[in-house]
Amino acid sequence: MADRNKRLDSNVAGNFFVDATCINCDTCRQLAPLSFEEVGDYSAISRQPDSDSRIHQAYQALLACPVGSIGTEHSDKSRLQTAMASFPLQIENGVSYCGFNSEKSFGANGFFIEHQDGNWLIDSPRYIKHLVEVFERRGGIAHIFLTHKDDVADADKYAAHFGAKRIIHQADSDVAPTAERVIGGEEPVRVGAEFQIIPVPGHTAGSMALLYRERFLFTGDHLWWDPHSKSLEAPTRLIWRRWTLIESIRKLLDYRFEWVLAGHGDRVHLASTEMRAQLQALVERREKGRVLR
């Protein structure tokens, strides 16, 4: 629960505010970019929401915030309940963003796929009653795909409740030692006809991406969209091996996809040709930096 007494001075006056417990994870800026901005080391309300849709987004951000640093001077319970009911937030074709990001993963995004052969959870949101009930109504969870060691969060709790099989790479498996499926090496692995696991070491030794229907690429902390530069980006720090990361980015040029759904950073939908051009441009930028060093 956000504390009015810790309200940051960087917030504009009005109902919504961010307090000093903010960890600057970017969750609120993804959900309500017209109301929240990064100001110094924190997120803050740069413009009070002034329409129904923007107020709804601000309440979604309040609920998704992993540390409860977003508050209101006067809460609207009806709007809060409507925002709660909107999660998981539908993206396209049975793919949803879970919301309720976890502090354990520094506010990483979790995603949910409804599939006739068993539903998938990609990384883990907080383990909360609302999401458990929604997942139960939609047929449970068969697989939990863990992109890398940083974003495991409450995966064990979801696995225990639903009897789901956790999937993680061997190089990161120390955070999930009882995982039901451990991926080894760097070769892609198919799961059924529509899923492909792609090891992409770099950020961590065991980072992996999940490609679904050659349309949706779940990337963890390997790749994301930067709305300011309007380009695909990848880590520049907290990297296991920098040159390995570049090769892992290059590897994705062999695949077709239209969505990048990241653990940290914005998601984006582009035509597959444009997505490939963005990916090629990222590789070239990183290769240039490699030569300059």
Task: Report how far residue 271's alpha carbon sits from residue 147's, in angstroms, rounded to the nearest whole number.
Answer: 24
HSE-up of residue 140 (Cα within 13 Å, Cβ side): 11
Task: Report how far residue 27's alpha carbon sits from residue 64's, in angstroms, rounded to the nearest whole number.
Answer: 7
Buried b (16+ CB within 10 A) or exposed e, 115-125: beebbbbbbbb
Nearest to residue 2, comparing CAs of 55, 68, 100?
68
Q: Which residue has the tokens 């979801």?
A: 158
pLDDT in single tens digits along all 293 residues of the chain? 899 999 999 999 999 999 999 999 999 999 999 999 999 999 999 999 999 999 999 999 999 999 999 999 999 999 999 999 999 999 999 999 999 999 999 999 999 999 999 999 999 999 999 999 999 999 999 999 999 999 999 999 999 999 999 999 999 999 999 999 999 999 999 999 999 999 999 999 999 999 999 999 999 999 999 999 999 999 998 899 989 999 999 999 999 999 999 999 999 999 999 999 999 999 999 998 764 44
Q: Where are the domains of the chain?
A: 4-84, 87-292
Q: Which residue has the tokens 């969750």?
A: 27
Assigned superfamily of 87-292: Ribonuclease Z/Hydroxyacylglutathione hydrolase-like (3.60.15.10)
CATH T-level assignment (fold) for domain 4-84: Alpha-Beta Plaits (3.30.70)
